[in-house]
Structure 1
Amino acid sequence: MNTIQLECFLAVSDSLNFARAAEQLHITQPAVSHQIQSLEAELNTRLFVRTTRSVELTPAGFAFISDAKDILGRTRAAKARISSSDPGHISEFSIGCPGIPEQNLLPPVLRRLTEEFPRLHPLIKMGPLPIMQNQLQEEALHVLFGFTEEREENTAVPRASSKKTGAFALLAKTPVACILSPEHPLASRKSLSCRDLKDLSILACEPRQTHPVISAVIAPLIGQRSLENIFFCDNLSAILILARAGLGFSLVPDIPGQRALGLSYIPMENTPPLHFGLYYKNRSTHPALKRFIELMQKEFVCP
């Protein structure tokens, strides 16, 4: 099994079209077919059902997607570690970003980081937090934005997970805020309590994407409402859209400098701050990791 086979498999599984996969990989269609056939022979199973009109994943093929991604991730991480000291090679640096606020923090830091490490190629990874936690453990990610429920650096327990993800570098203590349309009567308040929100429609994400502190506040509020007054959202982006539309409120971490435009952020009373920062396995996994952490921390210290 080699990386070319895996790249071809993932490209075809994504598009379910051999021609498009070949175009994406800049190789010929027969070359893609050959790599898939050799991979199937090595695994002794069919990964795709191919007809003249369609391509479909078999159950084995669908199950193999996560394995293929994991193998490629580990291979890339190993290559980055080995080649980073060679000035003739690029050095990939993988950053896990669960949401939009984290992504917005990156441009100034990456600009400075790539000036100091000219061969650095940042890879911005997005996806469900549990998957990215596993990728960090397997070193397919070098660093991951997240929250912790503990205050001491290097003893962190990640949100939405009971297992230790890795060391933790604190960036900021972020208050929990209620987000509302600026036109809402409560938008001018300096702070809010749960009692103030009892008659408003609520915008809620699934618990896996919500910090336990926020979930503990939101859960009883959801229980007090009928379904017509609850808008279930897949992610923070959907919540921000509905909040701007004036359809309800939600509770979010108020990360410094990362408030969404077109919304009012009002601090919640009697709610402890969340600890926002960076998870990593150890600072030696990539030569640029230590400097990345330092630059990110400086962003939060500087006005």
Structure 2
Amino acid sequence: MNTFQLACFLAVSETLNFARAAQRMNITQPAVTHQIRSLEEELNTKLFRRTTRSVELTEAGRLFLHDANGMMTIAMRAKKRFEDPATGEICELSVGCHGYTHLFSLHEPLRQLAQSYPNLHPRLQVVPYDFLYRILEEEHVDVILSFQENAAKKVPGIYVELEKTPMVCVTTRPQALEGEGPLSLEQLRGQRLVLGDPRKAPRSLAQTQAQLLGERAPGELFFGESPEAVITLVKAGFGLALMPRLLAPPDPELVLRPLAGVEPLSFGMYYKTLKGNPVLRRFVELMRLQYAEMQ
């Protein structure tokens, strides 16, 4: 396996077209095809599903995509380091999460961290929920941001809580339910729902959504792949949504009503160890300070 093979794989992954990938790489299409086939032979798996009209990643290809990006980043960083050794040792910190919303809390801790480590090079990775704990276990990242998993799920890391966030009902002003204060689940039973993917949701949120499904007709349910997609459908008037308040953006068009009888969710960080990693230790301290000031 070499970086040229990885570059070809990434080009095809991004374009989903061998001809356009060849143009981007400034090589012939047969050369791209050859590199992909040799990579598939080495990995002993198919990375792409190809027909006469389309190209798409296989499940194995989606799994390998993260690895390929990581290997290319490391290779380019190593090359750059030796091209200009006078710049000093690069200080790396890799943070993983499964939603872009989680990234919005990082800018101030990273700014302060860079004051202590001028050669800091943060790497922020947004990956599918199913891969989040895998990249921590395989040490592709130093720390991940996530809601706390229940005790039944084995997570390869130490958990540090940053905040308790309540579950809220998110509606638009025209849709807003009558009254004020917390809502009971019973009050929501006649409403159309916008649901997130239960496989990507904290366990308590998935259980709460399940309680509301009942005998609902399919036409009363709408689905969003991400919190951002769910909010978009709510603002478009398709229904109301349940989500942790942490994920609900500040928006004058939205009304957030707390849910009665639903425990707040714990949001925080998982990491494997702080030993021998002063940069991560300081980052954890800064994140805890920031969330403490927000409460």
Using structure 1 for the length normalisation, give the TM-score: 0.77
Q: Match of 1:69, as an amino acid?
A: H
Query: Match of 2:108, SS?
Result: helix
**1:73 matches 2:64:** no
Conservation of the 8 A alpha-carbon contact between 2:157 and 2:270: yes
Q: C-alpha separation between the residues in 1 aligned to 2:176 and 2:37?
A: 63
Question: 2:250 pairs with 228, 238, 260, which one?
Answer: 260
Conservation of the 8 A alpha-carbon contact between 2:48 and 2:61: no
Change in Cα spacing, 1:284 to 1:67, as seen in structure 2 (3 Å) is farther
Q: Match of 1:70, as an amino acid?
A: D
Aligned residue for 1:128? 128
Aligned residue for 2:111? 111
Query: Match of 2:174, SS?
Result: coil
Q: Match of 2:27, as an amino acid?
A: Q
Aligned residues: 285
Conservation of the 8 A alpha-carbon contact between 1:74 and 1:140: no
5 Å matches for 1:1-303? 1-16=1-16, 21=21, 28-29=26-27, 33=32, 39=39, 63-64=60-61, 66-67=63-64, 69-70=66-67, 73=70, 88-149=88-149, 157=151, 162-186=153-177, 189-255=180-246, 259-261=249-251, 262-284=253-275, 286-303=277-294
Conservation of the 8 A alpha-carbon contact between 2:95 and 2:144: yes
Conservation of the 8 A alpha-carbon contact between 2:94 and 2:122: yes
Conservation of the 8 A alpha-carbon contact between 2:100 and 2:126: no
Cα deviation for residue 265 of structure 1 reads 1.2
Conservation of the 8 A alpha-carbon contact between 1:177 and 1:254: yes
- Structure 1 range deviating more: 291-300 or 179-188: 179-188
Change in Cα spacing, 1:148 to 1:78, as seen in structure 2 (3 Å) is farther
Q: C-alpha separation between the residues in 1 aligned to 2:211 and 2:45?
A: 49
Conservation of the 8 A alpha-carbon contact between 1:193 and 1:269: yes
Cα deviation for residue 12 of structure 1 reads 2.9
Q: Which runs of 5+ in 1 are unaligned?
A: 151-156
Q: Match of 1:122, as an amino acid?
A: P
Q: Report the aligned-residue RMSD.
A: 3.7
Q: C-alpha separation between the residues in 1 aligned to 2:276 and 2:76?
A: 11
CA deviation vs aligned residue, 1:80-132 (integer Å, no higher than 9, x gap) = 99x9xx96243332222222431211222222222222222222211221112
- Structure 1 range deviating more: 277-286 or 38-47: 38-47
Cα deviation for residue 219 of structure 1 reads 0.6
Change in Cα spacing, 1:187 to 1:110, as seen in structure 2 (3 Å) is farther
Q: Match of 1:163, as an amino acid?
A: K
- Structure 1 range deviating more: 162-171 or 72-81: 72-81
CA deviation vs aligned residue, 1:15-70 (integer Å, no higher than 9, x gap) = 2456755776xx6537x7586576567668997899xx9995797xx735533633
Q: C-alpha separation between the residues in 2 aligned to 1:297 and 1:103?
A: 15
Using structure 2 for the length normalisation, give the TM-score: 0.79
Q: Match of 1:283, as an amino acid?
A: L
Conservation of the 8 A alpha-carbon contact between 1:80 and 1:91: no
Cα deviation for residue 275 of structure 1 reads 0.5
Q: C-alpha separation between the residues in 1 aligned to 2:201 and 2:163?
A: 18
Cα deviation for residue 287 of structure 1 reads 3.8
Conservation of the 8 A alpha-carbon contact between 1:172 and 1:255: no
